[in-house]
Amino acid sequence: MDAETKTLPDAKAVREAAEPSELETVRGFRWLASLLRKQITSGELAPGSRLKSIRKLAEDECISIAAVCKAIDILVSEGRLRKVEREGIFVAPKVDLNQRTRHIGLLTPFAISQIGEDPLIKETVQAIQQKIGAAGKNLSAHQFRWKPRPDVMWSYVPADEIRTYGVSGAILYGLYDSHYLSALSRLQIPMVALDTDAVVYGLDSVCFGNTGAAFELTRLLLQRGHRNIIYVGGPLPPPYCRDDGVFDPSTLQRADGYEVAMRTLAPEFPCRTFFNPGRRQTSEWIQTARAALAKHPECTALLSEPLLNPQELGAANVETAGFIPSSSTQIPAGVVAVAECDYARMGAAAAELLLERLADPERPVQRRTIHAALRQIKPAGTAGPVDKG
Give tens-digit pLDDT for 259-280.
Answer: 555 555 555 655 555 544 444 4
Q: What is the mean pLDDT of residues 281-304?
A: 80
The 10s digit of each residue's pLDDT in 320-374 is: 998 888 888 788 888 999 999 898 999 999 999 999 998 888 888 999 989 888 8
For domain 98-207, give the CATH superfamily.
Response regulator (3.40.50.2300)
pLDDT tens digits along 113-158: 667 777 778 889 999 999 999 998 989 888 887 666 666 666 788 8
Do 181 and 198 meet the contact criterion of CB atoms below 8 Å apart?
A: yes
At the fourth CATH level, which superfamily is domain 210-343?
Answer: Response regulator (3.40.50.2300)
Angle between helices 23-42 and 65-77 (to 10 degrees): 50
Predicted confidence (pLDDT) per residue in 151-205, tens digit: 666 678 888 788 777 788 999 998 878 888 888 988 878 999 998 888 888 999 9
What confidence category does residue 31 fall into, taking pLDDT thresholds of 50, 70 and 90? confident
Nearest Cα to Cα of residue 304 among 339, 269, 278? 339
For the chain, domain boundaries: 10-95, 98-207, 210-343
CB 83 within 8 A of CB 347: no
Q: Do domains 10-95 and 98-207 have the same CATH topology?
A: no
Cα angle for residues 327, 329, 332 (degrees, 5° grid): 120
Mean pLDDT of the chain: 75
Give the Cα separation of 42 and 51 in Å (integer): 15
Q: What is the pLDDT of residue 171?
A: 96
Q: Would the pTM count as exceeding 0.85?
A: no
- The fold of the 10-95 domain, in CATH, is Arc Repressor Mutant, subunit A (1.10.10)
Q: H helices then E strands: how many in the chain?
A: 13, 17
